[in-house]
Amino acid sequence: MFCEKAVELVRELHRMSDGQLPAFNEDGLRQVLQEMQTLYEQNQRDVNEVKSEGRADLIPSIKLRHCCLLRNQRCLTAYLYDRVLRIRALRWAYGSVLPGSVQFHMCAEELQWFSQYRKSLASFMRSLRDGGLDITQDMKPPKSLYIEVRCLKDHGEFEIDDGTVILLKKNSQVRAGNCFIHMSRPSPQTQHTTNARKASLTSCPAVVD
């Protein structure tokens, strides 16, 4: 029956859970393309007969085969596009280097696409701020709006965006929101708060209201 092989490709992906990439079904893809070539050639012959001999009885068959061609095309597009989305998600899950078991399931074109996507993502992250910003980290939002920040040297009074004035003294810990960390980054005089943020994330637990 027409389109069965194409539909099976889509079902093959549907049976896999998110985050998993099945082996590229090159044989199934080739069979669908061969079926499409056969349908196209049959339609071409029938269309020529309709034009030359006026055989209107062939028109329903031509329309049926044309619908099958479109359905096969949609299934192949869905199969390839879904695999690209899964491969893109693997970059965020595993990093710039995929495990060998994952690469084994990818075709040469998919490996090339992953390499280009990896380079594009790296270039974009380097363009964010001085020194770049790794947007693949800290994908989950914090459980609290506030964290404890340890000051590495004396700074004095510091006013945050809500108008609150806090005193930053060496080795003191203050309870502040992420807005305080964001405000302190641009200023060279408060560059040490960036280091304080790093220290707080590793040594100080988040404070929950």
What pLDDT, on the 0 to 100 scale, is given for residue 177?
A: 64
Structure tokens at 102: 């994952």
**CB-based contact 25:75 (threshold 8 Å):** no
Q: Which of 111, 114, 116, 68 is nearest to 89 (CA)?
A: 114
Indicate if the pLDDT at residue 197 is higher than 50: no
What pLDDT, on the 0 to 100 scale, is given for residue 178?
A: 52
Other residues' Cβ atoms within 10 Å of the Cβ of residue 197: 21
Mean pLDDT across the stretch 30-59? 92
Alpha helices in 95-190 (DSSP H): 100-103, 108-126, 178-184
What pLDDT, on the 0 to 100 scale, is given for residue 195?
A: 44
What pLDDT, on the 0 to 100 scale, is given for residue 186?
A: 38
Q: Which helix (H) or strand (E) holds 146?
A: strand 146-150
Indicate if the pLDDT at residue 9 is higher than 90: yes
| CATH class entry, domain 4-93 | mainly alpha
70-101: pLDDT as tens digits: 999 999 999 999 999 999 999 998 989 999 99
Give one DSSP letter per residue of 57-111, joined into a string.
Answer: GGHHHHHHHHHHHHHHHHHHHHHHHHHHHHHHHHHHHH-SS--HHHHTTS-HHHH
111-146: pLDDT as tens digits: 999 999 999 999 999 998 788 888 888 778 877 777
Min mean pLDDT across 46-55, 58-67, 169-178 is at 169-178
Structure tokens at 128: 């964010």
Residue 12 dihedral angles phi and psi, to the nearest 5°: -60, -45
Q: Model's pTM, two decimal places?
A: 0.67
> In terms of C-beta density within 10 A (0-12 exposed, 13-18 middle, 19 or more buried), how is residue 204 classed?
middle
Say whether 172 sits in a helix, a strand or coil.
coil
137-190: pLDDT as tens digits: 877 887 777 777 788 888 888 887 777 788 888 888 877 665 454 444 433 333
Q: Which helix (H) or strand (E) holds 165?
A: strand 165-168
Indicate if the pLDDT at residue 22 is higher than 60: yes
What pLDDT, on the 0 to 100 scale, is given for residue 167?
A: 82
What is the domain partition of the chain in residue ranges?
A: 4-93, 146-186+199-208
